[in-house]
Amino acid sequence: MADVIDPLPIKDLVPKSQIGAERFLRSQKSYDGREILIAILDTGVDPGAAGLQVTTTGERKIVDLIDTTGSGDVDTSVLITKEEDGTITGLTGRKLKIPEDWVNPSGYWRIGVKALYELFPKELIARLNSDKVTKEWDPKHRQCSSKAARQLGEFDALYKSNEQLSYEEKLHHADLQAQVDLLQEFATKKQIFPGPVVDCVVFYDGTDWRVVLDTSECGDLASCTLLTPFKESGMFGSFGPQDCLNYSVNVYDNGDVLSIVVPGGSHGTHVASITAGHYPDCPEKNGIAPGAKIVGIKIGNSHLKTMETSSSLVRAATVAAEMKVDLVNFSYGEVAHWVNEGAVLTQFRKLVDNHGAVFVSSSGNNGPCLSSVGTPGGNTSSLIGVAAFVSPEMMCSEYSLIQKKSALPYTWSSRGPTIDGDLGVSIAAPGGAIASVCNYTLRSSQLMNGTSMSSPNACGGIALILSALKAKGIPYNPSLIKKAVENTASAEIKADQFSVGRGILQVDKAVEYLEEVSKSASQSILRPNITVAVAPNLRGIYIREPEGLRKSEYSVTVTPVFPKDEDPKVKLAFDINLALVCSDSWISAPKHLSLQNGARSFTVTVDVESLPEGAHFGEVHGVDTSGGFKGPLFRVPVTVLSPSSLNKPGSSFIKVIEMKKEKLHRYFLNTPNNATYATIELKCLSTDQSSRVCIHAIQLIPDWSFRKTEFFSYDTVKTTDNPHRHTMSIVSGYTLELCVCQWWSEVRDCSVKVKLTFHSLNPSSTQVSLNAGSSYVRIDVKGDLQVEELAPEFKLTHSVQVKRPVDSVVKPLGNRDLLPEGQQMYALNLTYEFSQTSTKSTEVRPCLTLLNDVLYESPYTSQLWMLYNANKQFLMAGDAYRKQYSIKLEKGDYTVKVQIQHTDKAQLDKLKEIPLHLEFALPSSFSLDVYGSLKALLNGSPKFSSSQVIPGQVKPLYIATVPDEKLPKGVGGTEFKGNFVLQKDGSKKNKSPVSYELEYVTVPKASKKSKHSSQSSEDSASKESYEKALKNLKLSWMKKNPEVVSPESLSTEYEEDLDYCYARVQLAESKIAPLKEISELAQKVYSKINIQDILTSLGTKQDFSADASKRQSELEKLKNTLVATYLIEAKALKNEFIVSDPEEPGELDISARMRDIAFVLYKLLSSNESKMKQFKQYEAEVKGYCATVAKLIQEEGADGPLSKEKEQQLVEIYQRLGWSHIADLSEKWILRRHPPDYLLF
């Protein structure tokens, strides 16, 4: 009998029943999000994605699409008019045909240019690149390679002995070999396509701004999509049938700036689909609030792989306020060093408090340890932070698990409390969904999970609530909504409040609650948000460290905060009597509090002495004694972490844990004094079983984010395995949380043994700075807990250049950056220049150290930098987090543009000389010598290798300066940085993970004087020296300005002088004189130099004569003059050949003369010298050996980016060789590598 096949429950792909949304909509179908506008602050939203076209009432789903990052901005300030043939010339150089039916009353067309791959998601670029290589590049390249190899083989077969070849035949053979070499180089090198570089045209048709991108890349604008800003028309286009990437446009600054709005990834589309997706033909696939409208605000910068920036976030808050959005979903965030402060968070709070937007945000994916909530979702007042859980229905329909479990939080969902005592997590919602993604993925939908998914699920649920309230005419504000969803959340989930906040959102219960409260409570009570502050400036009581584990009193201040522009009568009427209710016996507070429009304080006592080990949470509730308001009006959260005892005093912690499916095992350990690291061992004790086990540990250090001390491991442990071993760094004196649990999807119980052992190797200095002038530095290492092996290593890994800006300007920004209250934003624009001098590709990391590692908490609203090469080609951008941004750079000159923003111009003026640090990775790290005593250092041996350190013992270490021969060349006076460890790799199985900072500053070498430079002052001031200096001055002026000092005016005095003759050749070259003139002048130079003397000198191995050095220097100068003159003549021959008619031979046999020059230069130069390569290029151009020319030009690129002219020459060569695929690729790269200007910020 066949099995009965159950249909997949499509409605559970976007979970709705768990939050009561499905139940609510069954009875209240019209409250499906109608009249609600939701801002999706994310990677951008695809306007062509399924489910995001219309609302349940048939209206357009997406109201507007906006990019606040600036990564899609194009400078369109250049105005031009049409030419007589109806075309305009774009910035790419292409002729753009304007369709006759386009209306442009002004006659002016604004033009710009954009490299589209700067906007394309990286996974799309990879797909397109792969398709082009396999379908277009490889077949053509194989054909060309086969032909080149065949031609070389035929030549070799004809001339079997290379020795018998004439000079011309050798050149021909070299060119055939160059063809093979070039094609082989292209074959072995991974081909990266530059993508489309399109002209952008903007014009005003008298009613709307019109925008077209030349996606045809040939100027056929009629075939391209003519757009207007999305808000007015809902119009969008696609870059092409292969990419399927949709885009829309906006126009700013009266047409000077075009913004191309492109999703930076699928995350934002997925989030929008969860929140408000609507499928008219399949309503089971709907999002939570299908009737809602959305505005997609892109805050993930495409230049930063969709990382958010503070400027994009502030702009987004401004846009949301201007559009009067009802709700904001924010599925982004980072960890912060401090909470509830910073320019970005200030604007987020103002959006809520002053503009009435309900702000819903993900709490973070950094669990399962406590205090792992991210910013802003878990750390910002006024926002609703959402945790993530997984339900049995999700396990079945989304994850296809065989065995289901009861609902539980995801292992990775961040937990509260915040470091300032707030609970951090408000509510929980389903944290996974299979929902729509961008069309460019070539998928209709995709499974994603994270608090990024729980936040839009909750946001959609709150949209239903607001939709019902608006329809029923019930007034509300963000504070009231937050209280409602928290007070009605379901606690039917096996998890503590740190994990799920007040519980799972219940839409129907929240609506019922708000209806009841609106009837029973006065508006004066419902309007304000009552804030809680625990002295000095905390949002709760958090007792984590040992010194707080005693009975203590805390001053708590509560303050009613009314919405902006509140009616004074409402403030006057606010008068409420409160009962202060403590949730637990170990918390006590006064029984009552009378609260009016003003701050009131009271004392809370916490007695922790009798609490067992573990985490404890309680609250003081402020409850309306009249009963008008249901549930707490405010809460004072109290968290206490009671420590576990160490098994061996001051040393280790051992625990056998029975792992249950839903249980987290938390242990809070007082770290011993001077502990520096810990080892963790994990052993599975269950029989014939394996299990996925998570170990997470953090400490909280003032002004450090938990990330700085975090340890995380995800192990699959088996009964047969040896113990899994890990090490983690420790900061002594701060409580360490050790959290051990099974991964959320595990279904079998498991028994494990965990052993954590503290270790101590303490250096007397954790930051060692060594100046080469001091010869050495001493540090002392002390062990405190047990016998440790000391095996130090001091290693330098980077050189550092510190640059001051070459330009710094503070200016006010435009209307786009004007804050909602009309506050002006200022920008400090900085320019830095530096060079990468190594011939090898070197990793470089720019950093503004003052602003490093702070984003949400920063008082500045931008710290974005952009890196360019000498051709203004954009290479990379970076922002707050230094370690995320590095790039390998070839030899050359580079420019870094930086923008810092602030509302206070004076703050920016202080930063006008802020230094930029540039870290250059060394080709290989090098170690400093370490000695165990000063005596050993002075003797140079023995070097310190390893030694045991017993508790209480101190071992001195002497770190010596680096011998000059070990230093990389050309770094004298440079600062180096690296790190030192006290247990290097291989010193023991579980080495210390602690790494300390190391800085080293070299002493510049003394410059050596040449042997013949010690002339007396009388000699240097001789008449001969004067006449020589005067001659050089005249010749210099003759070359620079022959109208002032003409060659004829000097001929009588210097006609037979070599320097004069050579200067005449240089002058002729600069003014591009005819070949005949250059050749005649060159012959005068040749006649005055005895080449045999130079060749004799080059062939002399040793010269012991008294004036050997001086004579050698003079002959070297003569050689350089001779070589330079031959190169000038060769260049003139090449230029003459290019313009001459091959059918009419001239007076001079150019090819023969080139051969004559070659014979001379081969005697004077080696084949690899740059001057010889330059001649070979001239010669090959004359002989028609294209591949040789191309190979030599490519070799030039090793010293820096090629000029546009050189790259265009390569394109022509590839075309002549019949390599059309390489020519096309190179031509497109020219547009990418040589933009007209720097990008806009």
Q: Which of 141, 216, 256, 267 is catalytic?
A: 267
Q: Give the C-alpha separation, 1205 to 1186, whole Å.
A: 16
Catalytic residue among 12, 32, 42, 243: 42
Residue 214 is given by DSSP the state -
Is 1012 catalytic? The answer is no
* Residue in the block written with tokens 């994310």: 42
Contact 455, 331 (CB under 8 A): yes
Cα 1100 to the center of its chain, rounded Å: 57
Sign of dihedral through CA atoms 185, 186, 190, 193? positive
Q: Which residues pair with 834 in a beta bridge?
A: 894
Give the distance from CA 855 to its chain's centroid.
13
Active-site residue flag, 452: yes
Active site residue 267: yes
Angle at 971 between CA 967 and CA 974, to 5 degrees: 110
The torsion defined by the Cα of 58, 61, 64 and 66, in degrees rounded to 10, comes to -160
Residues of the chain by 3-state class (helix, strand, coil), percent to 5: 30, 30, 40
- Give the amino acid at 518: S
- Find out whether 109 and 98 touch, Cβ atoms under 8 Å: yes
Q: Which residues pair with 896 in a beta bridge?
A: 832, 867
Picking from 379, 293, 303, the residue whose alpha carbon sits closest to that of residue 336 is: 379
Residue from 452, 799, 808, 1226 carrying the catalytic annotation: 452
Q: Are 1094 and 1164 in contact (CB under 8 A)?
A: yes
The total number of residues written for the chain in this structure: 1241
Output the CA–CA distances (angstroms, integers) from residue 551 to 588, 643, 670, 985, in the order listed: 11, 16, 19, 47
CA atoms within 13 A on the CB side of 1223: 13
Torsion of CA 1143, 1146, 1150, 1151, to 10 degrees: 40
Q: Distances in Å between the alpha carbon of 1144 and those of 763, 1078, 1135, 1141, 1148?
A: 83, 21, 16, 5, 11
Residue 205: Cβ-neighbour burial (10 angstroms; 0-12, 13-18, 19+): middle
The letter for the amino acid at 74 is: V
For 1128, the 3-state DSSP assignment is: helix
Asked whether the beta carbons of 427 and 384 are under 8 A apart, the reply is yes
Dihedral of alpha carbons 1030, 1036, 1040, 1043, sign: positive
What is the chain's Cα-based Rg? Answer: 37
Instruction: Convert 422-436 into a string of H (helix), E (strand) and C (coil).
Output: CCCCCEEEECEEEEE
- Alpha carbon of 649 to those of 644, 674, 730, 737, 1240: distances in Å? 12, 14, 17, 18, 61
Q: Which of 47, 487, 130, 69 is nearest to 299 (CA)?
A: 69
DSSP string, 340-404: S-SHHHHHHHHHHHTT--EEEEE--S--SSTT---BTTTT-TTSEEEEEEE-HHHHHHTT--SS-
Residue 443 CB: number of other CB atoms within 10 A? 11
Q: Could you count the other beta carbons within 10 Å of the beta carbon of residue 1008?
A: 7
Residue 847 contacts residue 887 (beta carbons within 8 Å): no
Residue 954 near residue 781 (C-beta atoms within 8 A): yes
Q: Which residues are catalytic?
A: 42, 267, 452
